[in-house]
A and B are shown apart, each in its own frame.
Chain A
Amino acid sequence: MKPAIEIKNLGKQYRLHEAPPYLSLRDVLSKAPWDWAGKEKKADPYFWALQDINLRIEPGERVGLIGRNGAGKSTLLKIISRITPPTRGEAFIHGRVGSLLEVGTGFHPELSGRENIFLNGSILGLKKAEIKRQLDAIIDFSGVEKFIDSPLKHYSSGMQLRLAFAVAAHLEPEILLIDEVLAVGDMEFQKKCIGKMEEVSRKDGRTILFVSHNMSYTAGLCEKAVLLEQGMVKAAGPTATVINSYLHSLANNQPVNDARYPGSAAVRFISLKAVNAKGDVSGNFDATEIIGLEMEYEVLEKDHILWLGYNVHNNFGVNVFDTHSVQTEEYLKPHATGRYRATAWIPAHLLNTGVYFISCAVFNHLKQVIHFHEKDCLVFSVSDQFSAESARGLSPGDFPGIVRPLLKWDITKQ
């Protein structure tokens, strides 16, 4: 089968401008004619926003594109959406592309909600007949039925956004490109949109390329991820692994002694890793395994009583549980200076399958001090196989619940 998206040696060069990117006629005309010939004596420097990008995305895959601001994520999406051309290299796309780099592109305040559905839908590549067919579903999804025939300028910004999302959620291209658009809007509606996209993508095998700063959305929607750094592919593979190397690259950028390193004058955070029973660092665990959360930190001042803690969130943003270092000697006794490693073990058969985000902190609530609280600085995923040893047993499909403990059952015949 042909890949949905195939990118070969793609590169995009921009010119760094000191002045605005467009020219002014005045500047051109005011230059003396002999300057025109030797065009641009002081040439602007060029830089590569993207370089040697090679990617292959199979039909039905959902791929998250992550990386820092300016890493080239949006530029890559713009090239694949054909908004801007590459400087070198090429890309092949098999299938109808729908790109969603913004919600409500082309919305006009003077037109009614209904008219804007047609306009926006058409800009997004829907045929008129398709919009007509889906019109009721779109209006219903948006939840603004009552105002659908009044001009958009009378809508609140929240309503406009809902309408825009409703159109976007009903796009039915084979390949969907999404950029950051979910960063806006209320949480509940965002989840509804993600849910709708996931549903369609599962059912129809739609390919999705998704850019977001929100790691939990990326983890929730995508099974694979690509990490871009300075315009190049730094890592590609299973989402949790790639997100982890991204988070590590963020943390490792700063030297330990640097004052910008997270922490107070007393304690500095060094690293957080997930390890298996053998102590090996991993990004993927089986539901039947124990998972160790291993934090390294450095104590710079003595005589502090330090409590350690983790928050565990799943990819829907639910706080699954918190844990504090209550059963340790250091809970009541001050730390000596030096480097420490603390490991908390999550029992096997506790977490359901999915992606987890761990935040870690060193604090003392009695003294009301938080030395550091690093949010979502570790990601790992939990998966399972069908076996009688897991809580799922032999039942296929989704196994619901925030946790999935393996409980002891007693069955007696009466």
Chain B
Amino acid sequence: MEKMLTHIRPPGRFTSGWREVWQYRELFYFFTWRDIRVKYKQTTLGILWVVLQPLGMMLLFTLIIARNWQMDTGGLPYPVFVLAGLILWSLFSNAVSHAGESMIQHAGIIKKIYFPRLIIPGSAVLSALVDFFAGLMIFFALLIFYGQSLHWFSPFYFGAGLLLLLTTALGAGILLSALNVKYRDFRYTISFLLQLLFFSSQVIYPLCSIPQEWLRILLSFNPVNTSIGLFRAGLGAPSPGIQEILAGLCVTLLLLVTGLFFFRKTEAYFADIA
């Protein structure tokens, strides 16, 4: 039997590193599994808390916004409209903030053992999905409550929206996690950036309600808008236009490539600087 050969040399050419992540898929699974276990062991309220949070937000926004502003929600009842946005947004914001902090949190492990470092932000993004699925249950319950029917195309729109959102979160998370190792005070900007992004995403308002055209075009470059738009289209709201989808997709891919490139470039030295 030919033995495994490892060749150690100074960092050189850029590779994406996905092949190695695949080799270490079991560790990927264990990291994700641990994040989930720990999260639900530490809070006694556990899953209840995950459910109450978007529900409370939904009630708040329904009371404040839907009562006072008239908006074109694409034919959806406002609570359904806003909860769809909220569960997607909290998935995005959890995934990005966890992934962003993840490399620093794992500094101890990084200095003591080798494995493909991409697993760390990757599993942080994946473990955020658990909260999302809990929120999704509430969302479906709300759909039944409002008698909102689904269509044959719904799963495709939901899937497309979710996939785009996760890819964006992964790209941003990878980039932020590497920046966080290199620039230690970067973490303070993450929550600010997320807040900025929240208000520029169509979570509580529809994009079409913005009167200025230039602003609408600018905001369509935010991939979170595209994902939420696609997701809501699954409920029968009008689908985002092709330009909007392309703009979001381009930004997502750009973010993923930039994140991956920067991460892979600094990764070799994480153990030295973390």
Contact = CB atoms under 8 A, between A and B. Distances in A.
Contact of A28 (B8, B42, B114, B183): B183
Contacts of B183: 22-25, 28
A23 B38 contact: no
B251 to A, nearest CB: 23
Given A23-B183, A86-B8, A122-B26, A110 B109 contact: no
A108 B39 CA distance: 12
A93 to B, nearest CB: 4
Chain A CB within 10 A, most for which of B9, B113, B272 = B113
Contacts of A106: 109, 113
Contacts, number: 117
B141 interface: no
Interface stretch (A94-102, A237-245, A327-335): A94-102
A364 interface: no
Contacts of A82: 6, 8, 114
Contact of A90 (B9, B30, B186): B9
B268 interface: yes
Given A23-B183, A24-B185, A81-B113, A127 B8 contact: no
Given A22-B184, A84-B269, A122 B30 contact: yes
Contacts of A28: 183
Nearest to B34: A119
Contacts of A86: 8-10
Given A101-B112, A102-B112, A108 B6 contact: no
A123 interface: yes
Given A83-B111, A101-B112, A122-B27, A110 B42 contact: yes
A94 B6 CA distance: 6
B137 interface: no
A151 B42 CA distance: 11
Interface in B1-38: 3-11, 26-27, 30, 34, 37-38
Chain A CB within 10 A, most for which of B37, B42, B181 = B37
A334 B273 CA distance: 60
B67 interface: no
Interface residues of A, number: 48
Contact-size category for B: 35 or more
A127 B26 contact: yes
Given A26-B185, A119-B30, A111 B115 contact: no
Nearest to B108: A105
Nearest to B180: A22
A91 interface: yes
A23 B38 CA distance: 31
Nearest to A4: B3
Nearest to B37: A111
Contacts of B272: 14, 21, 84
A187 B268 CA distance: 37
Nearest to B179: A25
Contacts of B151: none
Chain A CB within 10 A, most for which of B185, B186, B269, B273 = B185
Given A84-B269, A127-B26, A93 B6 contact: yes
B182 interface: yes
Contacts of A80: 8
Interface in A103-146: 105-106, 108, 110-111, 115, 118-119, 122-124, 127-128
Interface of B: 3-11, 26-27, 30, 34, 37-38, 41-42, 108-115, 181-186, 189, 268-269, 271-274
Interface of A: 2, 14, 20-26, 28, 78-97, 99, 101-102, 105-106, 108, 110-111, 115, 118-119, 122-124, 127-128, 151, 174
Given A84-B272, A85-B268, A127-B26, 13 more contacts: A24-B185, A25-B183, A81-B113, A81-B114, A82-B8, A83-B112, A89-B9, A93-B5, A93-B6, A102-B112, A110-B38, A122-B27, A174-B3
14 contacts: A22-B273, A24-B185, A82-B8, A86-B10, A88-B10, A91-B7, A91-B8, A101-B113, A108-B38, A110-B37, A110-B38, A119-B30, A128-B30, A151-B41
